[in-house]
Chain A
């Protein structure tokens, strides 16, 4: 038997219902696309089909299946972003107008932005470094974004963030090298683990910081 003994029989019996649920969801999504043929609805409904894919992959439930879910999710996101970009550029080309990245005004008139900004940002970054890995990167990046937003809302200049994309790229290379060590020289797994953990920490943190830099032009716009 493929499934090990310690997995409860109830968990194993969930496989087929989950599989059918995924297939039915995908079928409903395709049916909906055949009814709603206008471009935007088709794009949104296609996402339902993508969710059905995630359900089916998740129904297998092993660590390899988990490794399939993450790229599956990324592929879905990348495709929906690429297709919506195509849709936008087509509409822009038809009408002759252009649209900015964040088309709505953003104001952050909150007390926390002026009083506790440094404190919260430092706590988030330190906690993120302590956690390391993807989660830590997200938390530290959140701290950096919060710092950028609060400086912007106080009207202070932000100049230290140029070139942060380079850090992100190098950190990504460290992350990949760490993974390569896992495969090529499994004896040095600790080195590989730490390289990939801190590589992804730097990458995600700087990436989220980068989002703050990119969006800073959009803040305070009325």
Chain B
């Protein structure tokens, strides 16, 4: 599908060598949204959870200590910036790298917690993300092999071959695994129970935005209509 049909009028492009960024209202809106949320996270403090104890009437207060807070805030900002980058990029190569970075950083955000259950979930999610990096990179490489370019601008003008359908399928599998949406959601659900709410939310937001952008990119590559 045409870039202008999907994202609105093309406002301009930034040519950096063979990496060409294009600006549409759709991309700019999502880029600004990701940046605003990242700023909010950078200046906010963590929540404190109150857990009910099993078998008694007492409560337990779960706090995040300063060192853990700093690491988590840094990783959350990196995750937000990677999301913003994935929204604005006009290059499949950069998109792939941003998605892989988000996968790693998501593991990092929850890796410093002390609950064994959460660590278990993070471990399972890490395995899924690592396996998913195979279809992700393989999909990008096969699109490169089939067309000779990874620039979305040029990909929107090429004729789609069966190899590109296969590659898009691999790419979609990779993105679903890295961001941990629908079939892999069970591994991520436990991770959200960690104390430290705004930083955990960026995991959720990044996967939502990435999926929307991925759909746009897959429509640009495959041109089904």
Contact flags (1/0) for B136-147 with A, using CB distance below 8 Å?
Answer: 011011101101
A101 / chain B contacts, CB cutoff of 8 Å: none
A97 touches B (CB below 8 Å): no
Chain B binding surface, main DSSP class: helix
B107 / chain A contacts, CB cutoff of 8 Å: 79, 82-83, 86
Stretch at the interface among B2-10, B44-52, B115-123: B115-123
A195 touches B (CB below 8 Å): no
Q: Cβ of B123 and Cβ of A86 under 8 Å apart?
A: yes
Q: Cβ of A186 and Cβ of B17 under 8 Å apart?
A: yes
A52 / chain B contacts, CB cutoff of 8 Å: 134, 138
**Please, how many angstroms separate the alpha-carbon atoms of A90 and B116 in the complex?**
6
**Please, how many angstroms separate the alpha-carbon atoms of A72 and B104 in the complex?**
12
Q: Cβ of A68 and Cβ of B96 under 8 Å apart?
A: yes
Given A79-B104, A82-B111, A72 and B137 contact (CB-CB distance below 8 Å): yes
Contact flags (1/0) for A174-196 with B, using CB distance below 8 Å?
Answer: 00000000111010000000000
A43 / chain B contacts, CB cutoff of 8 Å: 127
B16 touches A (CB below 8 Å): yes
Q: Select one of A53, A56, A72, A86 contacting B126, CB under 8 A.
A: A86
Q: How far is the CB of B150 from chain A (nearest CB, A)?
A: 6
In the complex, how many residue pairs between chain A and chain B have their CB atoms under 8 Å apart? 114
Given A64-B93, A68-B96, A89-B119, A76 and B133 contact (CB-CB distance below 8 Å): yes
Q: How far is the CB of A97 from chain B (nearest CB, A)?
A: 15
Looking at A22, A46, A50, A182, the one whose CB has the most chain B CB atoms below 10 A away is: A46
Q: Cβ of B138 and Cβ of A22 under 8 Å apart?
A: yes
Q: Select one of A60, A93, A182 contacting B114, CB under 8 A.
A: A93
B42 touches A (CB below 8 Å): no
Chain A binding surface, main DSSP class: helix
Q: How far is the CB of B37 from chain A (nearest CB, A)?
A: 24
Q: Cβ of A2 and Cβ of B100 under 8 Å apart?
A: no
Residue count of chain A within 8 Å CB distance of chain B: 44
Contact flags (1/0) for A23-53 with B, using CB distance below 8 Å?
Answer: 0001000100100000100110010011011
B142 / chain A contacts, CB cutoff of 8 Å: 19, 56, 60
Residue count of chain B within 8 Å CB distance of chain A: 36
B111 / chain A contacts, CB cutoff of 8 Å: 82, 85-86, 89
Q: Cβ of B100 and Cβ of A71 under 8 Å apart?
A: yes
> Which A46-92 residues have C-beta < 8 A from chain B?
46, 49-50, 52-53, 56-57, 59-60, 62, 64-65, 67-68, 71-72, 75-76, 78-80, 82-83, 85-87, 89-90
Pairs A–B under 8 Å by Cβ, sample size 16 = A42-B127, A43-B127, A46-B130, A56-B137, A57-B137, A57-B138, A60-B144, A64-B93, A65-B141, A67-B93, A71-B97, A75-B103, A75-B137, A82-B111, A89-B111, A90-B119
Other than A56-B142, A79-B103, A80-B130, give 18 A-B pairs with Cβ distance below 8 A.
Answer: A15-B145, A42-B127, A49-B130, A49-B131, A50-B130, A56-B134, A57-B137, A57-B140, A57-B141, A59-B145, A62-B148, A68-B144, A75-B100, A75-B101, A82-B104, A83-B126, A86-B111, A182-B17
